[in-house]
A and B are shown apart, each in its own frame.
Chain A
Amino acid sequence: MEQTAQSKSRYGMVIDLDRCTGCGVCMVACAVENNVAPAEQKATERTGVTWLRVYPVSNGEGFPANDTVFIPMTCQQCGNHTPCVSVCPQNAVEVDPSTGIVGQIPQRCLGCRYCMTACPYHARYFDWWDPQWPEGTEVLLNPDVAPRMRGVAEKCNFCHGRLHAARTKAAAAGRKEIAAGDYVPACVESCPSRAIVFGDLADETNEVSRLSHSINTFQFLPKLGTAPKIFYHSAKEWVRKMADRAPLA
């Protein structure tokens, strides 16, 4: 009991772009799970909050060679000199050594938005307004995730509330380790075409670990050396070639 050893995991995802149909269910599931309020009237592409955003990207060819791919973009959970962590003047961002998850602590955040500038993936968002839910819908909020106030930055944390729930379940049963099936982020769970595989990259027996090494799997902006833990997969060469620039409109 004295020494409370903790496991070392490295959670990550492989997203199969050939399977993604761009339906956007993951975006909705993400917002609901993480208590992201409906967008303010004045919100724009840049000022709205979407921890997960699906970008359509075209190969720019005319008919019949034209082709479009949908790219779900979220915090890439950088494993190496994580840009947002290194610039935060507040220590409000941290890489959890036992999970590899990049955590954002809103109550520590002063709202300078340096992290948003530093993030090469544009995966961070700022709360320009206090969250507001239509009257009566507050009861539907997820109690495992605290809503954020105006003036702080926020982003994906792999549905950390679900990791808490899985850990609590393990603790109640006297187990140290969580059962892998107990921790599945909302986007992964909701995807109708099963395009996202999630799990512990450090566990080599895991499907996500195997897929992350498989052929045609790539990361975005590898030249920056940020070692993202989100991997993408596509058999199409033009899609893989996009990896060297952020796929942002």
Chain B
Amino acid sequence: MRCKGLILMLSGVLASLAIGWFAFPAALYRTEAQPMQFNHAVHTGEQNGMTCDMCHEFTENGSFKGIPTIAKCTECHSAAIGSTESEKVLVEQFVTPHKEIPWKVYSRQPDNAYFPHAAHVKRAEIKCEECHGPHGSSSTLPVYQVNRISGYSRDIWGRNISGLPSHPWEGMKMDRCVRCHAERHRDDSCLDCHK
């Protein structure tokens, strides 16, 4: 009856794998909806040709302003330009009542991590895509998920539960920051990236 034991063992292994690969991530992450759809491609594509820094600006003292405020959208969308549903939401729910859009930030790091865009983008001239992938030319928003325990966005760990990225831009844990710095011969100290 050795065969029966083997089958039992294999089904146990399979069940554990299924739990590890599918049930665990489903239990660990909660999906949250973005406040509205946003289409980067419409803005940055050929037809409108906006550059990233038209919306993602730096302040005078070099800090990165991140996602633009509603004032930026109002410059063009004070009334609807097209007839899409998402633009209707934008105008009716945010532009007209002057409300900020509560975007959920995929790349948001924990409070105690410090990341300066200026050093990377302006001085070292690293492309946005190297860290953010094709977000700036995408036409729909990816699913936003948070870790139920830490409250961090899933994109910090990376989409793949194994921690091995399926694309080079995926995941932004401390080891990725440090690895790139090491490749570029940057010595780090803890307080460079922590605050």
Chain A residues with CB under 8 Å of chain B are: 1-4, 6, 94, 96-99, 101, 103, 105-108, 144-147, 157, 160-161, 164-165, 167-174, 176
Residues of A near B4 (CB, < 8 A) are none
Q: Cβ of B48: which chain A residues have Cβ within 8 Å of it?
A: none
Establish whether residues A97 and B195, one from each chain, have CB atoms under 8 Å apart when the complex forms.
no
Which B residues are in CB contact (< 8 Å) with A4? Answer: 124, 184-186
Check A172/B112 contact, CB under 8 A, given A103-B190, A157-B191: no
B195, A168: Cβ atoms closer than 8 Å: no
A168 contacts B63, C-beta separation under 8 Å: yes
Chain B residues closer than 8 Å to A105, beta-carbon distance: 190-191, 194
From the candidates A98, A101, A168, name the one contacting B61 in the complex (CB within 8 A). Answer: A168
- Please, how many angstroms separate the alpha-carbon atoms of A147 and B195 in the complex? 9
Q: A103 touching B63 by the CB < 8 A rule?
A: no
Knowing A164-B116, A169-B61, say if A6 contacts B122 (CB, 8 Å).
no
| B 117-158 binary contact with A (CB < 8 Å = 1; else 0) | 011001111000000000000000000000000000000000
Contacts of B12 in A (CB 8 A): none
**B114 interfacial contact with A, CB 8 Å:** yes
What distance in Å separates the Cβ of A77 from its nearest Cβ neighbour in chain B? 12
- The chain B residue with its CB closest to the CB of A182 is B61
Chain B residues with CB under 8 A of A170: 62
- Are the C-beta atoms of B124 and A144 separated by less than 8 Å? no
* A167 touching B119 in the complex, CB below 8 Å, given contacts A1-B124, A4-B184, A96-B189: yes
Q: Is the CB of B194 within 8 A of A172?
A: no
Bound-state CA distance A157–B194 (Å) is: 12
The yes or no answer to B187 lying at the interface (CB within 8 A) is yes
B125 touches A103 (CB 8 A): no
Provide the residues of chain A in CB contact with B112, threshold 8 Å: 106-107, 146
Decide if B119 touches A168 in the complex (CB within 8 Å).
yes
| Complex A-B, nearest 4 residue pairs according to Cβ-Cβ distance, in ascending order | A172-B62, A146-B112, A96-B189, A103-B191
- B111 interface residue, CB < 8 Å from A? yes
Contact of B111 among A146, A157, A160, A167 (CB under 8 A): A146
Whole-angstrom CA separation of A167 from B190 in the bound complex: 15
Q: Could you mark each residue 152-195 of chain B with 1 if its beta carbon is under 8 Å from any beta carbon of chain A, else 0? A: 00000000000000000000000000000000111101111011
A97 interface neighbour in B61, B118, B123, B187, Cβ under 8 Å? B187
B58 interface residue (CB < 8 Å to A): yes
Q: Hey, which chain A residues are within 8 Å of B122, CB to CB?
A: 171-172, 174
Q: Apart from A96-B189, A145-B195, what 7 extra A-B contacts exist at CB < 8 Å?
A: A2-B185, A97-B189, A103-B189, A106-B112, A146-B112, A164-B195, A172-B122
Q: Which residues of B contact A147 (CB under 8 A)?
A: 111
Q: Which residues of B contact A94 (CB under 8 A)?
A: 189-191
Assembled-state Cα–Cα distance A52/B187 (Å): 30
Q: Which single residue of chain B is at the shortest CB-CB distance from A164?
A: B114
Write out, one digit per residue, whether chain B residues 73-117 have a CB within 8 A of any chain A CB (1) or not (0).
Answer: 000000000000000000000000000000000000001101010
A171→B118 contact, CB < 8 A: yes
> Is the CB–CB distance between A168 and B116 below 8 Å?
yes
Chain B contacts for A160, CB-based, 8 A: 191, 195
Chain B residues whose C-beta falls within 8 Å of the C-beta of A157 in the assembled complex: 191
Q: Which residues of B contact A99 (CB under 8 A)?
A: 189
Quick check: A165 and B118 within 8 Å, CB to CB? no
Q: Say how far A143's CB is from chain B's closest CB, in angstroms.
A: 9
Closest to B186 in A: A4
> Do A98 and B187 touch (CB < 8 A)?
yes
Provide the bound-state CA to CA distance between A149 and B111, in Å.
12
